[in-house]
Amino acid sequence: MKIESTNKVKKGLAEMLKGGVIMDVVNAEQAKIAEKAGAVAVMALERIPADIRADGGVARMSSVGVIQEVMDSVSIPVMAKARIGHFVEAQILDSLGIDFIDESEVLTPADEVNHINKQSFKAPFVCGATGLGEATRRIAEGASMIRTKGEAGTGNVVEAVRHMRTITNELNEVIACDENEIVALSKKFRAPLNVLEEIKEQNKLPVVNFAAGGIATPADAALMMQLGCDGVFVGSGIFKSGDPAERAEAIVIATTNYNDPKVLSEVSKDLGEPMVGINIDTLSEEEKLAKRGW
């Protein structure tokens, strides 16, 4: 007996990625650097978020050529992004045999009401969230993994911290609540009741939760881990920096040893220039990617 793509198998891959770093790459060469540096997976993109932000225009799923090139070049799992609500982009990625689909606010949304119904795909999905309501709605739609939205392409960790703290505080409120309060909490957070019940039973989010959006240094990665994240996504932070291979490695070591300041100071030495960051206050509301998704 053998059944593929069950919920348990989908969530299982996310479990295996825990404690690891997932890196954005735009070609085979970068993918190999990431794999060699110890990435647990790579995200295949045509442009990294910092460039998407700089270029403007509509950001879509990457070309199939780029995704396949990356898939053929490494032995670790490969993820790719589909636009929010763009289930056909997701169907294409699924047919390529991609290992994980990121329904991502970094791309221009294709549907202003609906996210993709993620249950019907073979590949597992990861989705961004700014709070518990968003996280649980995505889980109810079939997401096997959650990540903070942060503010991608800024090299500024402040939004990821805000989102992680919000998710943790709201999660604690649910875990601590009396069973008579759970329906009210479901309304308060606009969170599906069945997912809240699952949280209460397990005393944790039922899927893995990674940090993403603005992580640029080993210290940023360790900060997110100390705040309770299960692992980190690093987008623009690596390949927009002075020495990508060295920085990638340093972030991997920092993510494992997030509680050991000695190790963190050792890997932070002589890293070269980090990416230039953007202050969130200088972004207009339309420029904030975290506002995308519902």
Partner 1 sequence: MKVGILSFQGSFLDHSKSIHELGYESLLIKQSKDLTSVDALILPGGESTAMKKINQFSNLLTDLDLLIKDGIPTLTTCAGTILLAKEVIGGEVTIPNIDIEVTRNAYGRQTESFEGSVKFFENEDIYCFIRAPKISKILSDTVNVIAQHNDEIVGVAQKNVASLTFHPELNNDEYYLNWLNDFIKEGKNVRSF
Nearer to partner 1, 39 or 211 (CB): 39
Phi, psi of 227 (to 5 degrees): -80, -5
Nearer to partner 1, 1 or 58 (CB): 1
Q: Is 204 a catalytic residue?
A: no
250, HSE (Cβ side, Cα atoms, 13 Å): 25
Nearer to partner 1, 59 or 253 (CB): 253
Q: Residue numbers of the site for partner 1 (CB under 8 A)?
A: 1-6, 8-9, 12-13, 15-21, 35-41, 71, 75-77, 94, 97-100, 122-124, 231, 249, 252-253, 255-257, 260, 263, 267
Q: Beta strand pairing status for 145-148 and 208-210?
A: parallel
Rounded to a whole number of angstroms, the minimum distance from the CB of residue 235 to partner 1 is 18
d(CA 104, CA 102): 5
Rounded to a whole number of angstroms, the minimum distance from the CB of residue 189 to partner 1 is 26
Distance of CA 78 to CAs 5, 41, 148, Å? 16, 6, 19
Q: How large is the greatest C-alpha to C-alpha distance in the chain, in angstroms?
A: 57
Nearer to partner 1, 2 or 187 (CB): 2
Written as six digits, the tokens of 92 are 């294409």
The one catalytic residue among 18, 36, 81, 204: 81
Rounded to a whole number of angstroms, the minimum distance from the CB of residue 283 to partner 1 is 33
Rounded to a whole number of angstroms, the minimum distance from the CB of residue 202 to partner 1 is 11
Contact in structure between 229 and 258 (CB atoms under 8 Å): no
So which residues are the catalytic ones? 81
